Chains A and B, each alone.
Chain A
Amino acid sequence: MADGMQVREELLRRFIESGERERLQEILRNKLLASGWQDRVKDRCQRIIRESENGADKVTVDEIAEKVTPYARAEVPEDIKSEFLEQARAFVYRSLPDTEN
């Protein structure tokens, strides 16, 4: 599995350095914005902070992330998810040698 981790790192590095991450991030941001996801998740975070037992001043980022992640994941529209999966797949295909194809 050490090999796998190494390749993952290398893939990620290519992903970032080729500018693919930057490109996809920008597209994803616009799509999520248009889908209303961003506004809904922000609203949910506000509620989490408001309803926190320790008082709004004591909430940490990690706690909010913990609570909001399931909701935020589920709220991502299906089509956006599959589009980006497709993109990720395409990137991997382009980066990896076709040893078995």
Chain B
Amino acid sequence: MTFNAHTKSQHITCPHLGSKTKAVVDRLKVLVPYANVCRHRQALLQGRRGAAASGGSENREATPATGSGDGDRSRKRLVDEMPAPSCFTCHTPADRLHACLSCDFFGCWRRGSSHIKEHLRESNHVFAIDFARLELFCNACNDYVYDQAVTGWLRGAYIRWYAALCDAAEPEAKRPRIVSTGSDLSPAQAKYLRDHGTVGPCAGVRGLHNLGATCYLSVVLQALLHNPLLRGWMLSDGHHPSKCRVGRVGWLRSRAPGTGDAQPVAADGDAACMACELEGAVQAVHAPGARAPAFGPVGLLRALWVLRGDLAGYGQQDAHECLMAVLDALHVGFTDNVLAAGELEGRDARPLASRLAHSHVTPCPCLVHQAFAGVLQSTVTCSRCGTTTHAHDPMLDISLDIPAHVPRRETSGGLVPAPPVTSTSYRLTTPTSFTARAVDAALTDEPRRRTQTSASHGSHPVVTLQDCLAHYTRVERLGAYQCASCKAEAAATKQLSVKELPPILAFQLKRFERTRAAAAKIDTFVRLPQHLDMTPYTAAAVAAHSLALSGVRSSNGNIVSNTGNALPDTLAGISLHDLARQPPADMPKDTPVPIVDGPGGSAALGKRRTDATHSNPACQYSLFCVIDHLGQMDTGHYTAYAQHRGQWYLFDDAHVSRADIRDVLAFADDLRARQGRTSRGRAYMAFYAKTVLDYHDGAQIGPERLVSASAGSSNTRISASGEWIEDAGVVRTRVSASGEVRAERRGRKKGSAQPKKRGRPSKDVLVAKGSVQGPPSASSDSDGEALWARMEKSKGELVPMASEPVRFDPPKNDYASDVSL
């Protein structure tokens, strides 16, 4: 079946939008900046540039674009003083406000009585937008609609605000950028491929044969094959055997007359290139119309054995160790083995690696390191003189200990009391009948009623990934520490944090405990979240937190005041924590005061960090792969769950089956753990991908140009589905020696189940962003961009398995991103 990515008729769109699209977008240009300011007011006020919305020059609508300090101040004032809208009918400022897109009307939306709907009906207007969530409502359809053009525009607007919000959350921070893959395609070729490509129905989902206790390799491979960055790179010829020192031999042989095998044949002797083998595996998995259901990764296993003698043999291996070995070998394949253009023509040259000047400071530009490498920061504070020293270490993954016991989630470990509102402007002038006592009575009435309904669920603490991370970044005491500053031996504290977050976060849960007597497997259930916010574990958040604890000075030297409401120029953590220690007089007696140090304090500290810092949009991650280990310490089996085009699959060696998120996150075990019954945790590794990717627009970037690419333009991509780079629609090109282009397009079969317009759960429960389609408006027109735009365009759609009945899977989304309080 031919699929044309541009055939709009195949999308379910709102029939009422049509010619009104432009008018709607024009209205949105005014409303979206207003909505963003209202929603992120405090976060923006803390930012370096105040209403840094002007960080994107496109946002002139919101704020006068002036670069000076005066401009900053006026922008800040603008943000500060912009009034919050309220319902025109009942004057409530909350309750899911919607803005009419035909007039100035704002209306609330409560179940039963929706003033915005009333207004639309009476005045015969059609469209409204959810003011907090920015979703388009069509009164004629009586539902939210997801039109390509409008959602595309909204996505572009989000990207422009993304930078401002990142900056506000962590001023002066540099977000590492990805260098996108190059492509030799001309726009005409790209268009031809786009229009004529065909797709295998289940390309990309294929089991791997067990070659003798190699399930450890199977799961690692699946994790790599479904890694959006790696897959995108491989599918756009990031590493091709024809340009590989090692793989070239086999590649040339395979092209010799008589052999029809397109797969690279292993090179002679004991040379092997992991990158070439992975490229072969990607080819095999994505081949359209593959005959055999599973594929045997013989070449990869051979490469692993050749390159890593310690892993050779038919013994059972550790999946994490295997991953590290494969990544190491891939790094060599992506750098040392790549031939430069000059070498291809027979001229001898130094290996690429030596020409790529990278040191400890500039990270390795190879894909493995671009995708996985982050920087850890270890902060040591001398307890005698208070000097802190930082040490930075590269990391490819994070190995987490499973804390033995979770701090009970009591109020004491949780919230920091709000900063007291001292300024009189927030004091109300109210009728005397309406007093604090009356409100208090009303408030206590409510929960009691509800408690009865939910008490049955039990609330045994469950270890979460966030707990493990809090444990990982806890403050540790060092016994004897030789301070460089005060030249004395003193006690010190040490704390780990993440200085630089990689696009792909790999976690290992250390389930294998080696005590002196024996080795045992810890089978504590660990809850994995589908979306992970890494903000509290970043170096900036940790620093803000410890600053708050010592309560000394803010970074600009001003003494942080212990009074006053929102302190616009200081970090949230400082004001919150300082104020927390002095609960205002009018606080109720039972207001919890956080205990700074105490039993289980470290994990509780992690919790409070979460509370204190504004979450950074650049630290948001989505789960895309989980590796489970079943069985005992010394013998067992690995399986993997991985997400492919929004659908989860269970990969058990050669067997692949559809899976549900409840299987992936083990809801059954979660429930048992919450009820205090015996539960078994199986998750061993988890892979998260950043939801928004910062990248360099690297059209025509060859490996040689990777280093200098930092001079190129930069941009940001947002993902609708948690996969920013979708292989569907990616073009495979083979440029032969004679220069002819042989290209095949691996697109997708268009399924009938389009997650385009769905009923969307809402009303203080969850909000669905929908499968946003269409390219972001911030796109350039270079060749590379064309390829990216195409990748963007074709994602977020579902491909039903050909043989199975079409099943509905709601679009991936950033649900519950806004809970009405």
Contacts and interface: CB of A to CB of B under 8 A. Distances in A.
B758 A12 contact: no
B803 interface: no
B426 A95 contact: yes
B439 A79 contact: no
B818 interface: yes
B587 A90 contact: yes
A3 B434 contact: yes
A86 to B, nearest CB: 7
Interface residues of B, number: 101
Nearest to A29: B819
Nearest to B447: A85
Contacts of A87: 415, 417-418
B436 A93 contact: yes
B761 A68 contact: yes
Given A22-B39, A61-B760, A94-B584, A88 B661 contact: no
A40 B765 CA distance: 11
Contact of B818 (A12, A16, A25, A100): A25
B94 A98 contact: no
A22 B43 contact: yes
A14 B455 CA distance: 33
A77 B450 CA distance: 12
Contacts of B462: 36
Contacts of A61: 143-144, 759-763
B614 interface: yes
The secondary structure that dominates the B interface is loop
Contacts of A19: 41-42, 566
B459 A62 contact: no
Given A23-B42, A86-B415, A94-B584, A59 B759 contact: yes
Interface residues of A, number: 87
B667 interface: yes
B427 A95 contact: yes
A78 B451 contact: yes
Nearest to A33: B529
Among B426, B457, B821, residue most surrounded by chain A Cβ atoms (within 10 Å)? B821
Contacts of B660: 43
Contacts of A97: 427-430, 435-436
B727 to A, nearest CB: 24
B438 to A, nearest CB: 8
Given A49-B808, A62-B763, A74-B453, A33 B531 contact: yes
Contacts of B588: 89-90, 93
Interface in A47-96: 48-50, 52, 56-66, 68-69, 72-96
A40 B92 CA distance: 31
A96 B436 contact: yes
Contacts of B345: none
B766 A45 contact: yes
Interface stretch (B357-365, B406-414, B507-515): B406-414
Nearest to A22: B42
Interface string B445-469: 0110011011101010010101100
A36 to B, nearest CB: 5
A66 B87 CA distance: 22
B343 interface: no
Interface stretch (B152-160, B492-500, B809-817): B809-817
Interface in A1-58: 3-4, 7-36, 38-43, 45-46, 48-50, 52, 56-58
B757 interface: yes
B677 to A, nearest CB: 16
B111 A100 contact: no
Contacts of B530: 38-39, 42
B286 to A, nearest CB: 27
Contacts of B532: 33
Contact of B84 (A16, A57, A60, A85): A16
Contacts of B206: none
Nearest to A28: B819
Contacts of B531: 33, 38
Given A24-B821, A52-B759, A60-B143, A13 B453 contact: no
B279 interface: no
Contacts of B762: 61-62, 64-65
A101 B432 CA distance: 12
A38 B529 CA distance: 9
Interface in B214-229: none
B807 interface: yes
Contacts of A85: 443, 446-447
B766 A90 contact: no
Contacts of A96: 428, 430, 434-436, 439
Most buried by A among B430, B437, B459, B757: B430
Q: Lowest 4 A-B CB distances belong to which pairs?
A: A59-B759, A65-B763, A64-B761, A19-B42
26 contacts: A7-B430, A9-B86, A14-B426, A15-B821, A18-B566, A21-B821, A22-B42, A33-B532, A34-B467, A36-B527, A41-B765, A48-B761, A60-B142, A62-B762, A64-B759, A65-B111, A78-B454, A81-B450, A85-B443, A85-B446, A89-B588, A92-B436, A94-B584, A95-B421, A96-B428, A98-B435
Given A65-B765, A95-B427, A100-B436, 8 more contacts: A3-B430, A13-B86, A19-B42, A28-B821, A30-B610, A46-B810, A64-B761, A94-B586
Interface of B: 12, 38-43, 83-84, 86, 91-94, 111, 142-144, 409-411, 414-415, 417-418, 420-421, 426-437, 439-440, 443, 446-447, 450-451, 453-455, 457, 459, 462, 464, 466-467, 527, 529-533, 565-566, 584, 586-588, 590-592, 610-611, 614-615, 660-662, 665, 667, 670, 753, 757-766, 807-810, 815-819, 821
